[in-house]
Amino acid sequence: MLMRRIELVDASPAEVAAVVERSPVPDRAVRAQAAAIVDEIRRDGDEALHAANVRYGGGLPIEQIKISPARMAVAYEGLSPDLRDALEDAAGNIRAVHREQHPVDHLVEPVLGIHVKRTWSPLRRVGVYVPGGLAAYPSSLLMGVIPAQVAGVAEIAVVTPAGPNEELDRTLLATAALLGIREMYAVGGAQAIGALAYGTETIRRVDKIVGPGNAWVTAAKLAVFGDCGIDLPAGPSEALELVDHTADPKAVAADLISQAEHGPDSVAALVTTDSAIADAVVDAVAELLEVVERADTIRQALAANGLIVIADSMASAIAFVNSFAPEHLSIQTADPETIAAAIPEAGSVFLGHWSPHSAGDYATGANHVLPTGGLARAYGPLSVEDFGSWRQVQTLTKAGLAAIRATIGSIASAESLTAHRLSVDIRFEDSP
């Protein structure tokens, strides 16, 4: 059996819960070890960073981890025209979409003489983690850096692990040059997160860390949260396809394996009310596995985390999808817009036959840094707003404070916080 199969009508609540209740970092040992690594970086700086690079890989010697803009520029000059055009097109679309996300200040006057303003400002310094090592992801560099630039972040530090032979991918370096990056470090894993969060002699600490990564990176981000801001826990890739009899089985299969090829811990799920279409999709997956390059990785992912869910009604299928809260959701049905309106709990949604996951991963301009592990119930895609912070500014006149004086006094007295009441009343003593 290529993928596990569940009939919802026969499944117990415990069986369904075992499928939908998951975490971006399910291994508690990984969490503990990642926390220990970042604590070593916090305590010993470059010395610990160097030791972690030697122990776990993904980093150059300390004196070589900073990548010069000149080296990025050389890589950019060596790009093929087709790849350069593709990167520039993708960057343009991402920038256009994210410009429309820029927060707008708001001013409200709930009572005459009381002004409450909500204002947004960009962060000063952020760190962008870009996965790397055996593979390189220039698309993730675009997705992390461009929203920060649109937000107006003054300093952007990029970290990415070196690959075999301590080399960095030339396309990744070229993309950094395309974006005008001035600060980039060849270091990855939990130690990179620790360096960004706490700072070392070589890497200055940041205010917030964003970007996807493996379980170690995600665990490290969770470990530093509280000392440093993070965007969201983005773990292994997930694809969920909600389909009916109108779907093209081969297109559905292609979407499933496009996310499964990220790694053996990727999740690929099919939800439908039609057993025949489910069988056709499974057959199509088997056919496609004969022609794709990362077939072994995909087979491992499907064996470990592949899932077919047969629902007795579309309402039941929708309820399952909302409980699962997938990272990527493709809806290939006769009326995808209506169904999408009933599913608020998903990271990035793709409607219809002509909307493959890979379009959003690379070129629509939507962000592909997304919540996983069911956290789409509480988080959304990385956005411009993630690169700033809100504050409230309150201005009252004498008449405005007088209008709410009794309200403040009554609530303060009920909470036995009489100094709160005094801070209002004292302003009216001997006041004309």
Strand residues in 58-207 grouped as ranges (E): 66-67, 106-108, 114-122, 125-129, 155-160, 184-186
Q: Say if residue 354 is exposed, middle or buried (CB neighbours under 10 Å; 0-12, 13-18, 19+).
A: exposed
Catalytic residue status for 327 = yes
Catalytic choice (327, 345, 368, 420): 327
Q: Which residues does 150 contact at the CB level (< 8 Å), separation at least 6?
A: 95, 98, 99, 101, 102, 384
Exactly one of 50, 98, 262, 328 is catalytic; name it.
Answer: 328
The Cα–Cα gap between 127 and 195 comes to 10
Q: What is the dihedral of CA 299, 295, 261, 274, to 10 degrees?
A: -60
242: β partners: 271, 331
Residues near 47 by beta carbon (within 8 Å), at least 6 away in sequence: none
> Two tokens at 43?
């305590």
Tell me whether residue 166 is one of the annotated catalytic residues.
no
Mode of pairing for the β-strands spanning 114-122 and 388-396: antiparallel
- Which DSSP state fits 68? P
Catalytic residues: 327-328
